[in-house]
Structure formats: C-alpha cells, structure tokens
Amino acid sequence: MIYPGQEPVGRRELAELLRAQIRSGQLRPGDRLPSERVLSQSYDVSTITARAAVRLLRDEGLAEAVRGRGVVVRAPVEPEPVYVGIGEWVSARAPTPEERREYGVPEGVPLLVVTHVDGLQDLYPAHRFKVGFVQTQSPDRPR
C-alpha cells in the first residue's frame, strides 16, 4: 500500500507492487488484475499510469488480456530446452501478428530465432523455450 508522505508512484513502481502480489500468491494464475480505475483510485495515480503499469506486466508475460474477463495473471510456463550446435546463431525479435497467432505468443513476448549453418531458421516463442548449447568435441582435439 502507498502511504502518505511517500514518493509519488509511477508505472514502474505500480508494476512492481503488482509483481510482488503475483509472486506472493496474493494474485494467482487466472485471477483478474484490478481495473485501471481501481488501481488509479487505490494508488492515487492517473488511469494512464495504471494502464502503463499493467502494460509492463503484459509485456513481461506475467499477465494477459482475456476477452470478456479483462487482464488476468498468466500461469507460469516451464520452458522446454532448444539445443543449438556449433555454427548456429540465436537471436530474438518481435513476432508478426500472423506469427503471434500461429505460435500462440502472448503480447510482449519475443520469438527466438535459431539460424542453422545452412541458413534455415527455426522460430520458438521465448516464453515456452530456453536455449542450451551443445558442446561437441572436435575429432582432432584431445579430451
């Protein structure tokens, strides 16, 4: 809670307060976040600041907009490993709207792009995959 005499709350501070409620279990997966109006009244911020704080949580993948329900806390996802070999590259980029639909990527979550030695690319939603590196021993290199 914000107390009299404290510094004014901005979007980052409000987002951190909501993050703490999510981490503590006060807000659980599937729970609705308070509305922008409720946040603005409770923390004495503008609705623009409340909207920006909720947007930060959505961009981090902690919350998502659900039609007919508002913004809810997302269930955590344990990422699957993707192994990358020698000579392959990993980068990240924002998905296109079509890729977002095709891969089920929440707003604010990037795609991992694995570029193979032959130039072909594989795409992985960053919230569901983590990158690991395969270390292979060269045949002419002693162990």
Average pLDDT, the chain: 87
Go through the domains of the chain in sequence order and give each one's CATH number. Answer: 11-73 (1.10.10.10), 80-133 (no CATH)
Residues 6+ apart with CB under 8 A from 56: 11, 12, 15
1, pLDDT greater than 50: no
Dist. CA 123–CA 116, nearest whole Å: 11
Q: Is the dihedral of CA 23, 26, 30, 34 positive or negative?
A: negative
38-74: b (≥16 Cβ within 10 Å) or e: ebbeebebeeebbebbbbbbbeebbbbeeeeeebbbb
Contact 40, 50 (CB under 8 A): yes
106, pLDDT greater than 90: no
* pTM of the full structure: 0.61
Q: Is the dihedral of CA 106, 110, 114, 119 positive or negative?
A: positive
Mean pLDDT of all residues in 55-64:
87
Q: What is the pLDDT of residues 4-21, one digit of tens each?
A: 555 657 899 999 999 999
Check residue 107 and give its pLDDT: 75
Mean pLDDT of all residues in 105-133:
91
